[in-house]
Structure 1
Amino acid sequence: MATNFYSQSKQISHQSNRSRDSTWSVFVGNISYGTNEQDLRSFFEKTCGHVSTVRLICNNQTRQSHGFGFVQLDALVAYEIALTLNGSSLNGRKLNISPNESKITFHSTTISTVTAESSSYDVYIGRPSIWGNHFVNGRDGDNADRIRKYCAWIMTQSELLARVEIELRGGTITCWCKPEACHGDILAEIADAN
């Protein structure tokens, strides 16, 4: 299992690798820190109908939201309606809603953490490395935007995806972003998938 995160362990739920016609998932960014999964579920159910799954990404130690998550809907119509909600307000914040472009197999896994200050890690995944997130804060959006863009980008990099299993799975990965959510979370999910 790959390791990343500032927290000691974290449960992550991932979208299944089924085709878009059977699983419709949206990325939701700019979520207020006071919003919980039930608030997010209620927001989408008012307009879209039944929601299959809501996953708000949080720091395991503090239980503080990282300000982004995923909502999985049952049908194409609900998915399309959800995308029209981009820019809608929830708890005082305008939500950024876009297709969940990740192709990661979603399952439960436990992920532990180290920071780059630790001497106990296997692979550094910061910006100078091949694993680094080349999307820059500000120019390329906020942290949630950068993570979403990195996720979409890495899924198009067949050579890197092949190396993830060999070089990262079972190891400890680290960067300077922690304790904030970062692209390392995406790499850990990919390494632990399947």
Structure 2
Amino acid sequence: MATSSNYTTRQIAQQNMNTSMNQSLSIYVGNLSFNTIEEDLKRFFNDNCGNVKRVRIIYDNNTRQSRGFGFVYFNTIEAFNDALQLQNCQLDGRELRIAPAETKNSSTPSSSSSSSSTNTTTNTNAAANVTSSVVPQTTNRSRTQVVHCKKSNYDVYIGRPSDWGNPFVIGKDGDRADVIRKYRSWIMRQPDLLARAKNELRGQRIACWCKPEACHGDVLAEIADADEIKQS
């Protein structure tokens, strides 16, 4: 009987160790595009690392919009280590910020509510371990903000050569007021960009090189926040 008892104890210990190891093979992924869905994230890491167990993107409870970060769980230590090497690789036009997700060793939860609490703590701690510049600050922001790309954290770059860049140049096409006015007239004839501005820029921190000077970003912010756009 003693042998059977010892064997059972070893089995339980091994199971607990395996569970702890599986929980630790997870990474935090920040700076995700708001258009990236869990299938995209899983495909990206499966293609580059393989052995993805599951993925989870964190969404705002009220708006159901992605908060710009998530977690990826792996089946093997090799895949986990390979994933950490993908720091700054691009997915959907964004450079990924990757770090090991922090986990806490604890006894097996006795209820689903206990498990949920543990997962919440783990996710919060992992996000806190990455600098604020990694996690897009998007929740509860009512107005689009224009900032300097080298002086502030931002969500979307709108300078040249991005799709949002001003094709009109100070000097060649007039003074600052002239090129802003020309940009406004030009973008009002670009229905695709107008629609994208509403979907992609609204409520974001958009960045160029001009702030605190006036710039075309002010036009984009106005368009993004407008309830209705009257095209020229």
* TM norm structure 2: 0.40
Larger RCO (alpha carbons 8 Å, 6+ apart): 1
**Higher percent of residues as helix:** 2
* TM norm structure 1: 0.47
